Amino acid sequence: METKWQWRIVFGLLLIGACFIGLEVMGGSEGTRVKEGVAERERVMRKERGQAEVVEVERKKQLWHEAYSSSIDYWAKVVDEDGKPLMGAEVHFILRDDRSWSFDGGKNSRHILVSDEGGIVHLGGKRGAGVVAEARMPGYAPLYGAEGRNLARDSVDYSSQEKWAMEGRPNRLEPKVLKMRKKQVREEIVYAKVRRRSVRKDGSPVMMDFFEEGIPVQLKLFCRSASPEPFTHARYEWDAGFEVLQGGWQVVGKSRAVMAPVDGYARGAFRIEMTEGMEGNWIRSSPNGAREFWLSLQGGGFARLRVEFVTGRDHWVDIDLWYNGEGGRSFEGYEAVKQKVRKGR
């Protein structure tokens, strides 16, 4: 009897084990099928993404082709500062037709057209994404606007089909006006450079004159700084400025004028206040570098001053000064004088 029951127990255990094995095999097969299904879906998704990327690349190629196939129909009118047409002015065009989009744009084609008696030039029959135009003429220079923009230069995008872009493009009835100014007669310009002249941080004035250079200009410079000692890069309050002795000053605007104004000069000190919260190149006297001024001298004559204060561990000032040696107001080519002096050193 006992043997019979023992065999039954053994048989039962074997049956249970076989069931477990079967379940495991079935589970494994099901898991394999699930994994294969996931892998297949991933393959399909990758294929679909790849196809979508190809479609997107082709779409961009088509847009690129359409942009650089845009028809160019550019009209301009070259005038002087009084609005009178300039005949014989050259308008230099850079046509954005280089589809390889080279880094320096050197592969874009260039064209030069000459204005007629009405100052008109017309660039047509070309294709590209845009055009840059700049007027040039002997005896004339670009006229700059109040914000420092070159009014003898223009850039137009022809790739956009937006209504606002198309309506803003110059045409025969409304050409783009390119403005130039007649160059002034060059007069004798004397140039002087002072680099890194130390100033005190306690506000005590430092006197500076340019008599040895033949320039009758004398300046009083000052600087007040809370620069920490020893120096750290933590921000601090500071201010600086200058005063023209026996003369006045006036800020040079962004119009890049080359004629000193007749009037409008201020007396007393020009002060630059730099607070902790200012942005930009904070330790210098201007986020954009040096500041420029016209100077009117009491004894007659005009000068142009570029000044920049710098604080930190040391406190100093950097100055460029031009003086019209003939007593006139013209400073035509004053930067060229500076370059000539530098090359001569």
Q: What is the pLDDT, as a whole number, of residue 264?
A: 93
* Token pair belonging to 54: 């190809």
Closest by CA position to 73, among listed 19, 5, 125, 150 = 125
* Token pair belonging to 57: 């690349």
Q: What is the pLDDT along the chain (345 residues), one digit of tens a residue?
A: 556 556 666 556 666 665 555 545 555 555 566 566 667 777 777 766 766 666 666 666 565 566 778 889 999 999 999 999 999 999 999 998 887 655 555 688 999 999 999 999 999 999 888 899 999 999 999 998 877 889 999 999 888 777 666 777 999 999 999 999 999 888 889 998 887 889 998 999 999 999 988 899 999 999 998 888 888 777 888 888 999 998 999 999 877 788 999 999 999 999 988 877 765 555 665 544 578 999 999 888 999 999 988 888 888 899 999 999 888 999 998 888 877 776 655
Closest by CA position to 145, among listed 307, 264, 255 = 255
In angstroms, the CA 28 to CA 147 distance is 76
Q: What is the pLDDT, as a whole number, of residue 287?
A: 47
Question: What Cα–Cα distance (Å) separates residue 310 from each residue in 200, 304, 313?
Answer: 11, 20, 10
In angstroms, the CA 83 to CA 65 distance is 39
pTM to 2 decimal places? 0.67
* Token pair belonging to 145: 């606007």
In angstroms, the CA 46 to CA 133 distance is 48
Domains of the chain: 71-182 (2.60.40.1120), 189-344 (no CATH)
DSSP 75-128: EEEEE-TTS-B-TT-EEEEEE---TT--TT-TTSEEEEEE--TTSEEEEEEEE-
